[in-house]
């Protein structure tokens, strides 16, 4: 009798598992494989074991440049690998791909899959600190990914091209699987709400690079024109993260009547359905922003930046609009254009649903990912 495959998934964040990778976990288990999950606080969540997933705790990542804090995470993952002895390991996000890639080099050998879910701020910032950090990280990335049995999944071709140009990976190692997939049943198509005034939704982590300040400035421009609209922000503040806005920023915007703050929302299908259109002026190093695909599945037009990852979710003029990054004036004009054209919004909303159904459903993404696993086992 063949021994069941033992699978180890390494993730950056437990909430990310529930929001982005649960369909993949179900598909792995449906194959009869034993699934282990390594992420900070995993053993503390009783829902993990209820789903017959074996949890493992690893140190949480922070924003320290102290090498010891990163070595501690690598060592924690290496210990999990030694205990589990997986037949295949899948690490998701650039940071945890790096950690797991290094850990796998000092642990029992097994095929490894890395998903690069965007390049984050490491490759998008041009300041001196970021350039120095990139110079230090690049040789470590090459070491982590330099394995014959490694496969690297990119979510957009821009990121794939960047890694190939930097000679971090080889072409035969790579694949493109766009996003983590959308549950199109949970995010069902709904007509635009008839309530007035219209609601413009910013749904994201409240990081500066996600364009929150540009969104607020665009809201101010539109309100100064006397256009009736409600600007809503749904997302969490990250105290201690130098890239996060502050609670003081949020309180000030609310007090000035610029935005409504919805907080960190769990019921995103309802929040998106209640909106007229979704705006994410991100210049962050995105993979494919899942929330933009969720908006498309529900039938909401999207305005986002002409940036890697965002271009995968939105085709300009088809299911939304692409605007230049860090340009709140152009962003405000795009919002105003869609607010004044209900027929265009309806057409883009229908196109958004078609776009997601064609290539971005959880079923499509999961099947493509399983194929990568089967090819290297």
Same domain, 138 and 279: no
Same domain, 346 and 284: yes
Same domain, 169 and 26: yes
Same domain, 131 and 277: no
Same domain, 229 and 126: no
pLDDT tens, residue by residue, 253-267: 999 999 999 999 989
Same domain, 164 and 248: no
- State residue 3's pLDDT score: 78
Is 145 within a domain? yes
Same domain, 113 and 219: no
Is 367 within a domain? yes
Torsion over CA: 142, 173, 75, 95 (sign): positive
Q: Is the pLDDT of residue 1 over 60?
A: no
DSSP state of 244: B
Instruction: Assess contact for 175 and 285: CB atoms under 8 A.
Output: no
Is 286 within a domain? yes
Tokens of 259: 């935005």
Phi then psi dihedrals of residue 44, to 5 deg: -85, -10
CATH of the domain at 224: 3.40.50.2000
pLDDT tens, residue by residue, 313-356: 999 999 999 999 999 999 999 999 999 999 999 999 999 999 99
Closest listed residue to residue 320, CA positions, set 307, 334, 330, 333: 334
Closest listed residue to residue 98, CA positions, set 128, 73, 126, 121: 73
Is 185 within a domain? no
Same domain, 334 and 209: yes
Is 194 within a domain? no
User: Cα torsion for 139, 143, 148, 153, to the nearest 10°?
Assistant: -70
Same domain, 370 and 343: no
Is 147 within a domain? yes
pLDDT tens, residue by residue, 149-203: 899 999 999 999 999 999 999 999 999 999 999 999 999 999 999 888 999 999 9
Same domain, 219 and 127: no
Same domain, 338 and 372: no
Domain with 261, as residue range(s), is: 199-359
Same domain, 247 and 348: yes
Q: What is the number of structural domains in the chain?
A: 2
Is 40 within a domain? yes
Is 66 within a domain? yes
Cα gap 139→141, rounded to integer Å? 5
């Amino acid at each position: 009798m063949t021994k069941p495959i033992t699978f180890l998934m390494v993730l950056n964040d437990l909430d990310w598992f529930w929001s982005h990778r649960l369909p993949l976990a179900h598909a792995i288990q449906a194959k009869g494989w034993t699934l282990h999950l390594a992420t900070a606080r995993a053993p503390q969540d009783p829902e993990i074991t209820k789903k017959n997933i074996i949890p493992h705790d690893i140190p949480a990542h922070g924003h320290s440049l102290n090498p010891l804090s990163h070595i501690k995470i690598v060592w924690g993952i290496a210990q999990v690998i030694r205990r589990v002895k997986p037949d295949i390991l899948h690490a998701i996000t650039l940071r945890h791909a790096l950690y797991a890639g290094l850990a796998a080099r000092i642990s029992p050998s097994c095929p490894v899959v890395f998903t690069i879910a965007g390049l984050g701020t490491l490759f998008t910032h041009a300041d001196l600190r970021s350039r120095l950090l990139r110079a230090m990280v690049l040789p470590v990335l090459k070491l982590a990914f330099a394995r014959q049995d490694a496969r690297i999944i990119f979510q957009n071709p821009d990121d794939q091209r960047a890694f190939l140009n930097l000679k971090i990976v080889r072409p035969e190692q790579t694949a493109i699987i766009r996003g983590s997939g959308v549950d199109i049943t949970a995010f069902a198509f709904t007509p635009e709400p008839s309530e007035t005034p219209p609601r413009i939704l910013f749904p994201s982590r409240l990081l500066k690079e996600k364009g929150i300040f540009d969104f607020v400035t665009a809201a101010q421009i539109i309100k100064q024109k006397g256009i009736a609209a409600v600007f809503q922000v749904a997302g969490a503040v990250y105290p201690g993260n130098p890239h996060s806005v502050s609670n003081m920023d949020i309180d000030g915007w609310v007090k000035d009547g610029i935005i409504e703050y919805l907080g960190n929302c769990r019921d995103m299908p309802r929040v998106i359905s209640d909106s007229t259109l979704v705006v994410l002026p991100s210049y962050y190093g995105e993979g494919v922003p899942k929330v933009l695909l969720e908006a498309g599945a529900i039938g909401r037009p999207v305005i986002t930046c002409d940036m890697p990852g965002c271009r995968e979710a939105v085709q300009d003029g088809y299911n939304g609009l692409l605007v230049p990054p860090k340009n709140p004036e152009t962003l405000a004009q795009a919002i105003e254009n869609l607010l004044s054209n209900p027929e265009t919004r309806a057409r883009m909303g229908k196109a958004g649903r078609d776009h997601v159904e064609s290539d971005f459903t959880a079923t499509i993404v999961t099947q493509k990912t399983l194929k990568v696993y089967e090819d290297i086992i």
